Structures are given as C-alpha cells and as structure tokens.
C-alpha cells in the first residue's frame, strides 16, 4: 500500500477516532482475532485487534507504567507476578524493571500477538521475553486460573475489551478463580477496565463482581490519548485495605529505592490516581 488512507476505529457506535495510515505493516486472521499493525505519522506504529486500537508506540508508556507500578509499589514485597494477556510485551517489560520480582508468568491466548509485536514493536518488550525470570504460557487466561496451583503477589490483567476472546476475563467465574486459586494472601489484582465515560456498564459490572470477593474493590484512573473518551479505569482489588491508603511519602520511599526512571508514573500520580470524579463514583453501585 503506497497511498495514504484514513482508518477509523470501530469500538463505539457513532463515535470514533481516525488516523492516517501510511503503511500496512502486517495483517492476519489468527485463530482468535484479526490482528493488524499499521504505521501512522502521529502515533507511530499502532496495533489493532478486531478493528480496535490496542497499543501505539507514542503513548504506550502511560498505560504500561500505570498498570504495573501502581500495584508493584503499593505491595510491600512483590516477588511473584502473573500477567494475563499483555501480548505486546509492555507490561512484562515494566514488571521486570522491579528487581525484587523473582518470577513472572504471562498467560497470553494468542501467540501471534507476541511474535508479531516482538518484530514490529521491539521497544514494547525490549527483550523481556528472553529474561530468565519470565515464563510465557500460550493459553486462555480463564482456563489457566481455573486450574492454577501457583500463588502470585500481584496479578495484572491486560486484556482486550469484554468482546471476543477477552470477554471471559470480565466474568464472575474468572474473578473468583483468580482470587481463590492464584492470588497470594495480601495480594493485589488490577485489570484493564475500559473508559468509564464510554463504557459505564463495564465499570458497574466489575465493581459488583469484585465487591463480592474482596474487602477493597475500587478503581484508579489515567488519561491515555489512544483510549478516547477521557480517563481510562483500572480495576483494583485486594483484601488488604491499607494498601490503597498509603501516602505519597510511603510510596516514594519504595520508588526511590527501585533504581529506575519512569516517564508518567511517580508517587504523587500514584496517590492521585485513586481520586475518582463523581461521574465515575456514581457508576460504582
Ligand atoms: N492495552 C489494550 C487495551 O487497553 O485494550 C489491550 C492490550 S492487548 C496486549 C490485550 C491482549 O489480551 C491481547 O494480546 C489478546 O490476545 C489478549 N487476550 C484476549 N483474551 C484473552 C484471554 N482469554 N486469555 C489470555 N489473553 C487474552
């Protein structure tokens, strides 16, 4: 394809973002979804699954840093981490920056996403898939948690939206198996939970489902330009209610000892991200 074309994303009925595509780099119908990687002048390379934007080179750091560093700096001593989804490698990259993490298992349903992102988004994984602390499992996350015999201090669900293969990762059964079979005592689970302004029901459903399982079920937010409609929400659930109440000074003490730089995340942003505007609080019912 040599001429420029404009592509519109298809997640919402009647409202969309569109971007100029200068080159179609890759497309394939995998066993699970339609995978496309395109070159754009503004956001750099963009990956779409079933027509929905998943990640871009330009703003991925906001999403990946917030999904990883909020739970990993909130937890007093995370040693074992489980990632569900996350095939572009950005979550794994950020988790492995924490030197106190001894082991990471990543369960991704679609091996093609990992393979193609290694090739077309090398800065997402930055070699993380070759790290000896990482164990990659190609499987459905729901099936994995149903038979899991391992315990993890932090679980991060970086899934697609609750349509297609990602739908099962938003169900009560998945949340229950995840907690009962996989989460260590005092552990934290976080999950991609959509843009509340656009996907309000998703937030209400998750709140009700997690609220039945955990002493503390809430959300934290971040603005990611790619995920249109304002704040994106991340589900937060743990039985240790003190973890969400930590001050910026307490978080900063851990950040200072970590020995790496971030572009979006810091201790003040960490604490502030739990402050929810009323239109989001009102969806927590
Ligand atoms: N950041 C994106 C967003 O906000 O929508 C999502 C990133 S993308 C890496 C999500 C990944 O979840 C994809 O690689 C997809 O293959 C994977 N996935 C979807 N359903 C899954 C399932 N049931 N089990 C494991 N991985 C799944």
Q: pLDDT tens digit string along 47-91?
A: 999 999 999 999 999 999 999 999 999 999 999 999 999 999 999
Residue range 226-283, pLDDT digits in tens: 999 999 999 999 999 999 999 999 999 999 999 999 999 999 999 999 999 999 999 9
Question: Which residue's alpha carbon is at the smallest distance from atom 2 of ligand 1?
Answer: 54
* pTM, rounded to two decimals: 0.97
Percentage of the chain beyond pLDDT 70 is 99
Active site residues: 158
The CA distance from 96 to 103, in Å, is 9
Question: Which residue's alpha carbon is at the smallest distance from atom 19 of ligand 1?
Answer: 166
Using alpha carbons, select from 1, 36, 2, 41 the residue that is nearest to residue 19.
41
Q: Are residues 43 and 124 in the same domain?
A: no
Q: Are residues 88 and 207 in the same domain?
A: yes
140 is in an annotated binding site: yes
Q: Are residues 275 and 164 in the same domain?
A: yes
Q: How far apart are the first and last CA of the chain?
A: 49
Last residue of a domain, one of 54, 75, 94: 54
* Residue 3 pLDDT exceeds 80: no
Q: Are residues 174 and 213 in the same domain?
A: yes
* Sign of the C-alpha dihedral computed for residues 167, 168, 170 and 171 taken in this order: positive
Instruction: Identify the residues whose C-beta falls under 6 Å from ligand 1.
Output: 54-55, 63, 84-88, 107-110, 113, 140-142, 158-161, 165-166, 168-169, 192
Helices 248-258 and 60-74 cross at an angle (nearest 10°) of 110
- CA-to-CA separations, 66 to 146, 162, 176, 236, in angstroms, rounded: 27, 20, 24, 12
115 is in an annotated binding site: no
Q: Are residues 68 and 27 in the same domain?
A: no
Q: Range of 34's domain?
A: 5-54
88 is in an annotated binding site: yes
């Amino acid at each position: 394809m040599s001429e420029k074309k404009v592509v519109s994303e298809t997640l919402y009925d009647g409202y969309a973002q569109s971007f100029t595509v200068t080159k179609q780099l890759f497309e394939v119908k995998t066993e699970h979804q339609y995978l496309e990687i395109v070159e754009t002048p503004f956001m750099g390379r963009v990956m779409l699954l079933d027509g929905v934007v998943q990640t871009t080179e330009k703003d991925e750091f906001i999403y990946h840093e917030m999904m990883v560093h909020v739970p990993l700096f909130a937890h007093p001593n995370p040693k074992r981490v489980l990632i569900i989804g996350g095939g572009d490698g950005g979550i794994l990259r950020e988790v492995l920056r924490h030197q106190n993490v001894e082991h990471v298992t990543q369960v991704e349903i679609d091996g093609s996403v990992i393979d193609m992102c290694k090739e077309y988004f090398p800065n997402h994984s930055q070699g993380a898939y070759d790290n000896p602390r990482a164990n990659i499992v190609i499987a459905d996350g729901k099936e994995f948690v149903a038979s899991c015999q391992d315990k993890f201090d932090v679980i991060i669900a970086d899934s697609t939206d609750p349509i297609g293969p990602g739908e099962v990762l938003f169900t009560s059964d998945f949340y229950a198996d995840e907690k009962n079979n996989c989460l260590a005592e005092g552990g934290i689970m976080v999950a991609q939970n959509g843009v509340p302004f656009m996907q309000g029901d998703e937030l209400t459903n998750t709140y009700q489902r997690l609220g039945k399982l955990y002493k503390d079920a809430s959300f934290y937010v971040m603005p990611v330009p790619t995920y249109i409609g304002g704040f994106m929400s991340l589900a937060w659930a743990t039985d240790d209610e003190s973890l969400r109440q930590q001050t910026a000074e307490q978080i900063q003490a851990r950040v200072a000892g970590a020995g790496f730089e971030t572009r979006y995340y810091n201790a003040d942003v960490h604490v502030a991200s739990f402050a929810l505007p009323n239109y989001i609080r009102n969806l927590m019912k």
